[in-house]
């Protein structure tokens, strides 16, 4: 199963606007999907005969600076032994009071729960409808998101010097 076949199937199911572009450069091809179709597409890829992407390997978030954020989903079909990368671009004005939002996939794959919490904790991406979105690595009262390009290291935490 190649990226073109998967893309055609998604377009046939959801329409042209579901796929924003196909990236065929680099180590592994990827589909950029419209964020408003993300959850529906993932259910389809998980449940559709011939695809059966039953394992979500990883979710990674990348800070693109003023261009926003990129959230990448690596998934595998264990029975069919093929992999797929989905990407969604998320615009954001960098305001820490208004975090970029992406639909949660925790209902599609249980492993998304922890991966989304990590992306929330370190990058500040808010996953809507997540069952328990809270920090996973940093203390609850930590300010900021350390993997963002504009993050400033604090001088101290509760009176303890950091540096």
92: left (phi over 0), alpha (psi -120 to 50) or beta: beta
Residue 142 has pLDDT above 90, yes or no: yes
pLDDT in tens, 79-90: 999 999 999 999
Residue listed under structure tokens 């990448």: 72
CA angle 140, 148, 76 (to 5 degrees): 90
Structural domain count, the chain: 1
Q: What is the mean pLDDT of the chain?
A: 95
pLDDT at 92: 85
pLDDT at 155: 87
Q: Which of 30, 76, 27 is nearest to 53 (CA)?
A: 76
In terms of pTM, does the model score above 0.85? yes
- The CATH number for 78's domain is 3.30.460.80
Residue 122: φ, ψ to 5°: -95, -25
Residue 163 has pLDDT above 80, yes or no: no
What residues make up the domain containing 113? Answer: 3-161
């Amino acid at each position: 199963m190649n990226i073109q076949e998967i893309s055609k199937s998604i377009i046939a199911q959801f329409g042209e606007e579901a796929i924003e572009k196909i990236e065929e450069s680099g180590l592994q091809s990827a589909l950029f999907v419209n964020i408003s179709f993300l959850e529906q597409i993932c259910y389809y890829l998980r449940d559709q005969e011939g695809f059966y992407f039953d394992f979500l390997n990883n979710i990674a978030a990348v800070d693109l600076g003023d261009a926003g954020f990129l959230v990448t989903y690596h998934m595998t079909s264990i029975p069919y032994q093929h992999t797929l990368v989905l990407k969604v671009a998320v615009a954001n004005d960098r305001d820490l009071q208004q975090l970029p939002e992406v639909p949660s996939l925790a209902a599609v794959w249980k492993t998304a729960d922890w991966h989304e919490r990590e992306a929330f904790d370190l990058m500040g991406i808010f996953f809507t409808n997540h069952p328990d979105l809270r920090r996973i690595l940093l203390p609850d009262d930590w300010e900021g998101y350390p993997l963002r390009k504009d993050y400033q290291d604090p001088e101290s935490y509760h009176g303890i010097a950091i540096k």
